[in-house]
Amino acid sequence: VNMDMLANAAILATNFLAAIVLIAMNKRVFVYFPFPAALTAVHYFFSWGGVVALRHAGCFEARRVPACQTRTFYALVFSWSSGNALSNVSLDRNSVGFYQLAKILVTPSIVAFDALAYRRRPTPTQAAALMLACAGVGLTSVSDVQLHAIGAAVACAAVASSAAQKVINSHMQQIGGLSTLQVMDKAFPPMCLLSLLYVPLLDRDLEKLVSISWLTSESAMAITASAVAGFCATWFVP
């Protein structure tokens, strides 16, 4: 049991650190590459390649999605692909402080969605941990909050999509008997295709994107580092 607790703690810590690093990296990437939806697509293609490499290395075995979970899987693909794209657009359009405050809403939204969809409620210990996490993020964000109407609308959409994705992902793993990597292995191919559709819908200045005038050694390094952090944040999910 102690080893399991240590393993879970290590996964939580890795996920937490990767998420923090990812926010800072993405905000930095937007200086060179101001295309959040396109960056999301890069992340997905990179992560897909990483998952395929892990599968060929024997880290996990590919499994089919159970037939009874097909609709749930499609809902996961849509919420996952749109949630990350909208989240990156929110980070691009808002200050880091407001982005973090909006992310706080994901946690209670997950609890509410889980209760409504699957009638599951958190234990008192889980509720206390969630409240402490929300309070900690809130205290670190209050000094840099700038509100914009469009940015706020995008942030709300990102919160809803992200909460749905996390609950559905958990359901897929528990009911479908799939591991995190097995879910990623099946979800990333359609997510990559959907992410390309979001680019003309969510990104601005598409002419600059197509012209690749943004491509420099600095931008390439920043995008690659961001993609690595994104893969780690997705893989090490508790």
Q: pLDDT per residue over 110-160, tens digit each?
A: 777 777 777 776 666 656 656 655 565 555 555 556 667 788 889 889 989
- Run of H or E including 238: none
Q: How many helices (H) and strands (E) does the chain have?
A: 10, 0
pLDDT band at 1 (very low <50, low <70, confident <90, very high): very low
User: CB-based contacts of 192: which residues, under 8 Å, 6+ apart?
Assistant: 41, 44, 45, 48
pLDDT band at 195 (very low <50, low <70, confident <90, very high): very high
Low-confidence winner among 52-61, 178-187, 197-206, 229-238 (lowest mean pLDDT): 229-238
Positive or negative, the CA dihedral 65, 66, 70, 75 is: negative
Q: Crossing angle of helices 217-235/36-56, nearest 10°?
A: 60
Please give the average per-residue pLDDT across 84-101, as a whole number.
85
- The fraction of the chain above a pLDDT of 90, given in percent, is 43
pLDDT band at 176 (very low <50, low <70, confident <90, very high): confident
Q: What is the dihedral of CA 57, 47, 117, 108, to 10 degrees?
A: 120
Q: Side-chain half-sphere of 89: how many Cα atoms within 13 Å?
A: 28
- CA–CA dist 97, 91 (Å, integer): 9
Predicted confidence at residue 152, as pLDDT, reads 83
Residue 46: what residue type?
Answer: F
Residue 169: what residue type?
Answer: N
- CA–CA dist 60, 41 (Å, integer): 24
Catalogue the long-range contacts made by 106-113 (C-beta closer than 8 Å, 24 or more residues apart). Answer: 106/159, 106/162, 106/163, 106/166, 107/133, 107/134, 108/134, 109/159, 109/160, 109/162, 109/163, 110/163, 110/166, 110/167, 112/163, 113/163, 113/164, 113/167
User: CB-based contacts of 103: which residues, under 8 Å, 6+ apart?
Assistant: 137, 159
CB 57 within 8 A of CB 105: no
- Domain coordinates of the chain in residue numbers? 2-235
| More confident: 125 or 27 | 27
Per-residue b or e along 149-171, where b marks 16 or more CB atoms closer than 10 Å to that residue's CB: eebeebbebbbbbbbbbbbbbbb
CB 177 within 8 A of CB 127: no
CA dist 62 to 2, 217, 230, Å? 30, 36, 22
